[in-house]
Amino acid sequence: ARHGVGGGRPLHLIFLGPSGTGKTTVAGLLGGIYAALGLLDSGHVVACRPVHLAGRDQLDVERRVAGMVEQALGGVLLVQEAHLLDRVPAVVNELLRAMRRRGRRLMVVCSGLAPEMEGFLAGNPAFRDEFQRTLEFEGMGDRDLVRLFQSYAERDLYTLDEELRVELMSRFERLRGDPGFAFARTVRALFEQTVARQAARLAGADVNAATVARLTARDLPESPLEQMMGDFR
């Protein structure tokens, strides 16, 4: 039945977890599943952050929220870093109104860091009650991150030497302390930088196909410490 879930509307969901753990990807997968089940028209995802919904005044907030909701009708409205909604209560109230009024035609997913989201939702019980389920996303371990790096490499027909694997383990262990660490996004960025450095290293050299296809530890971008030491040379 088209409206057989959640009292006549798709399930609105809370996603908890750090950046780069697949929350946006899962929102897209769920949108597709809901569309296949006939619960959504298209299942497309429209992503935004609280800053995109905050306005100069109440009328501006209403216009921005209505515009984003209209784009998401038939699919998923994904509000990323939703714990920051705590700073814009007018947006929370307008989103709540939109969910109650248009909830049959879209699924709203709010994602953010677990502690901050839990605090925000505790302070906004009426908003929290619109969400019927919470999903928690865990970060990957260092070995999983190396495997993800390897999967990117294999997809693009590269191989990794063993020294690079060892260095990757050490690099990911250190990177976890960086506030900007974002699991899959960090791995993807590191892979792309490594490929670019390998291409620059081999540019103009007389090398065979096996060499071109092999990534080595020296192709990794310099760590912040190495960059700093280089500045003193």
Q: For residue range 87-110, list pLDDT tens digits in order.
A: 999 999 999 999 999 888 899 999
- Tell me which residue of 87, 164, 80 sits closest to 119, measured CA to CA: 87
C-alpha angle 226/164/191, rounded to 5°?
80
Residue 14 bridge partners (DSSP): 110, 134
Q: For residue range 176-223, list pLDDT tens digits in order.
A: 888 789 999 999 999 999 999 999 999 988 889 999 999 999 999 986
Q: Would you say residue 227 has pLDDT above 60? A: no
